[in-house]
């Protein structure tokens, strides 16, 4: 017998053999056992997920249930006259459908069901669909239609409404790996676990693609290694991705360039490397956001997860998002310049420049801070007062002793100090009156309004927070779990210095600022807004109120 490729040799022969589609096979098995099949089925899903296989199994089982000999039919070599497979791509005209309409009148040869399987049904023309509609709505009792497609959105609604639809899911990586291990055992093939995991990820949830790759690798011998897969597909080793990501996180431009040079010189596809590094940072983002709760979304070996977790722990969410944005943007640059290596080098340089500028804000002793915010003036005679419960004159800034060395910023109003989150050295508030938490909470709209007049993005992100603690001149602002991203965005030295400088101008004395996420954040009484929300079934976006 001639050689059979793995995709045909190991095609499932029963519903129990189908992997990853239990939500579908369970319903189909019940329909067969109870003798209640529908007259039309629609199987949707990406390639290699089992649509045609399940259609063949259903057709065979229905005829076997009728007591015929169709149960001995090999699904890889269809030969039953009562199971007709039609390729929708090459038989998509109205004449082909007219022939089908004439043939459905013929009774089955074996007395069971006459099953028409139309693959890639979305390729039928509009006229062909129209010609099929009447037959599809009221077919003879002995006829069952099974349509398979990768693009159900291209089917007319009139066809969709006449079919029982099943959506085939992408097969999880671990299930594909388990199937590949079983086949390797049967074929006496030795394969590395990591190699099989890479095959499963390349297949993108399609079992047929995974079997085809395994078949291709087995043709060169009974040993399958990760190095073979990397050479065959031009993939970059996971260690190189980890080294590149770590170099970015450690601000090591030379290390990034060395990795890019190594990847280029080894003949790897730089486009694949760019896509892989984006996926790497996606995993960093997932583990940063969810930790162990989202580990299931990261289909990687344990050691790689630990490496990615370490990278995530050392970076803020804002940095991770910026890095992803810059690398994704470099792919557009590569399409223009036709040089992916140059685009990645430029992306690394941009990420470094972004990080360096952020670091410089924390160590530069003579950097000039933004000028204190003044209340915006609409006319020369009448200033606009920011929203407050009662207008308060700003107390003059008194002279203060020079703060200790650290993260400091000087301007003509004095020195601003942003204390670190871990046990900061608090200073005394230098305004006319000491800072009081209740007063800050009452004036929160006034403070965030003043900030928004200077920099709208910071005001927007800070507004949902609330002051929850005052210690000396240090203000702790808390965000709810729902606004955790706001905290991540604001939690940079440069942003905190900017906000503290604006607050200092409004409060009349030097302040420090810190942000955190808390389980409970005190609300703010806005009875008029609450009534409007209830009346119009809306939500509060910002709470700034401009009182004339």
Of 35 and 68, the one with more pLDDT = 35
Beta bridge partners of 467: 477
Instruction: Give ranges for CATH 1.10.8.60 in the chain.
Output: 173-233
Mean pLDDT of the 343-372 span: 63
Instruction: Give ranges for CATH 3.40.50.300 in the chain.
Output: 6-167
Of 137 and 354, the one with more pLDDT = 137
The winner for highest mean pLDDT among 275-289, 421-435, 513-527 is 275-289
Residue with tokens 């199971």: 83
Q: How many CA atoms lie within 13 A of 255 on its CB side?
A: 14
Q: What is the pLDDT of residues 472-513, one digit of tens each?
A: 889 999 999 888 888 888 988 888 999 999 998 888 888 899
Q: What is the pLDDT of residues 290-330, one digit of tens each?
A: 766 666 677 676 777 777 888 888 888 888 888 889 999 88
Q: What is the pLDDT of residue 49?
A: 93
Domain 173-233 = CATH 3.40.50.300 = no
> Worst-scoring range by mean pLDDT, 91-100, 146-155, 224-233?
224-233
**Alpha-helix runs per DSSP H in 491-526:** 493-507
- Residues in the chain, how many? 548
CA-to-CA distance for 403 and 66, rounded, in angstroms?
91
Nearest to 443 by CA among 527, 517, 508, 506: 506
Q: What is the pLDDT of residue 524?
A: 47
Q: What is the pLDDT of residues 263-285, one digit of tens each?
A: 888 777 788 888 888 888 888 88
Q: What is the pLDDT of residue 4?
A: 87
> Could you write out the DSSP letters of every residue in 78-95?
---TTEEEEETTTS-SHH
Residue 465 per-residue DSSP state: -
CA-to-CA distance for 22 and 30, rounded, in angstroms?
12
Confidence of residue 162 (pLDDT cuts 50, 70, 90): very high
* Superfamily name with CATH number, domain 6-167: P-loop containing nucleotide triphosphate hydrolases (3.40.50.300)
Q: What is the pLDDT of residues 25-47, one digit of tens each?
A: 999 999 999 888 999 999 999 99
Q: What is the pLDDT of residue 11?
A: 92
CA-to-CA distance for 225 and 194, rounded, in angstroms?
8
* pLDDT above 80: residue 360: no
Q: What is the pLDDT of residues 90-107, one digit of tens each?
A: 888 888 898 998 888 888
Instruction: Give ranges for CATH 3.30.300.180 in the chain.
Output: 408-536
Structurally, at CATH architecture level, domain 408-536 sits in 2-Layer Sandwich (3.30)
Q: What is the pLDDT of residue 190?
A: 92
Q: What is the pLDDT of residue 536?
A: 54
Which class in CATH covers the domain with range 238-363? mainly alpha
* pLDDT above 60: residue 343: yes
Nearest to 33 by CA among 73, 59, 65, 72: 65
Instruction: Give ranges for CATH 1.20.272.10 in the chain.
Output: 238-363
């Amino acid at each position: 017998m001639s050689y059979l490729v793995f995709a045909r040799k190991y095609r499932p022969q029963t519903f129990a053999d189908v992997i990853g589609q239990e939500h579908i096979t369970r319903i189909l098995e019940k329909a067969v056992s109870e003798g209640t099949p529908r007259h039309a089925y629609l199987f949707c899903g990406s390639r290699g997920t089992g649509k045609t296989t399940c259609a063949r199994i259903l057709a065979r089982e229905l005829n076997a249930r009728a007591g015929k000999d169709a149960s001995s039919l090999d699904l890889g070599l269809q030969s039953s006259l009562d199971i007709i497979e039609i390729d929708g791509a090459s038989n998509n005209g109205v004449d082909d459908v007219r022939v089908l309409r004439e043939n459905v009148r013929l009774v089955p040869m074996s007395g069971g069901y006459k099953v028409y399987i139309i693959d890639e049904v979305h390729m039928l023309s509009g006229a062909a669909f129209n010609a099929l509609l009447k037959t599809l709505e009221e077919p003879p009792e002995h006829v069952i239609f099974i349509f398979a497609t990768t693009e159900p959105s291209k089917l007319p609604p009139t066809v969709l409404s006449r079919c029982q639809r099943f959506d085939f899911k992408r097969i999880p990586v671990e299930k594909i790996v388990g199937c590949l291990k079983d086949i390797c055992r049967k074929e006496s093939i030795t394969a590395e676990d990591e190699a099989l995991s890479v095959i499963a990820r390349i297949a993108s949830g399609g079992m047929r693609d995974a079997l085809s790759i395994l078949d291709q690798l087995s043709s060169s011998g009974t040993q399958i290694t990760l190095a073979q897969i990397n050479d065959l597909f031009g993939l970059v080793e996971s260690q190189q991705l980890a080294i590149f990501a770590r170099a970015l996180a450690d601000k090591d431009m030379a290390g990034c360039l060395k990795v890019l040079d190594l990847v280029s010189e080894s003949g790897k596809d730089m486009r694949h490397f760019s896509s892989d590094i984006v996926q790497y940072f996606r995993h960093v983002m997932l583990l940063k956001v969810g930790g162990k709760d989202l580990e299931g979304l990261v289909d990687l070996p344990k050691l790689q997860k630990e490496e990615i977790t370490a990278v995530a722990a050392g970076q803020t969410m804002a940095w991770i998002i910026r890095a992803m944005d810059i690398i994704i943007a470099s792919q557009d640059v590569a399409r223009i310049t036709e040089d992916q290596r140059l685009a990645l080098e430029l992306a690394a340089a941009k990420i470094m420049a972004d990080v360096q500028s952020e670091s410089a804000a924390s160590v530069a002793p003579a950097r000039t801070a933004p000028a204190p915010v003044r209340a915006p003036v609409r006319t020369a005679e009448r200033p606009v007062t920011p929203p407050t419960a009662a207008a308060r004159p700003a107390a003059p800034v008194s002279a203060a002793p020079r703060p200790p060395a650290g993260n400091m910023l000087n301007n003509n109003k004095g020195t601003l100090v942003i204390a670190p989150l871990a046990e900061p050295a608090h200073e005394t508030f230098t305004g006319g009156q000491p800072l009081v938490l209740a007063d800050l909470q009452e004036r929160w709209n006034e403070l965030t309004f003043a900030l928004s007049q200077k920099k709208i993005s910071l005001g927007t992100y800070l507004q949902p927070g609330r002051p929850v603690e005052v210690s000396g001149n240090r203000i702790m602002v808390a965000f709810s779990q729902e606004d955790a991203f706001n905290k991540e965005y604001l939690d940079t030295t440069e942003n905190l210095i900017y906000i503290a400088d604006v607050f200092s101008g409004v409060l009349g004395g030097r302040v420090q600022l810190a942000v955190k996420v808390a389980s409970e954040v005190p609300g703010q009484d806005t009875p008029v807004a609450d009534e409007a929300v209830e009346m119009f079934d809306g939500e509060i976006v910002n709470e700034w109120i401009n009182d004339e």
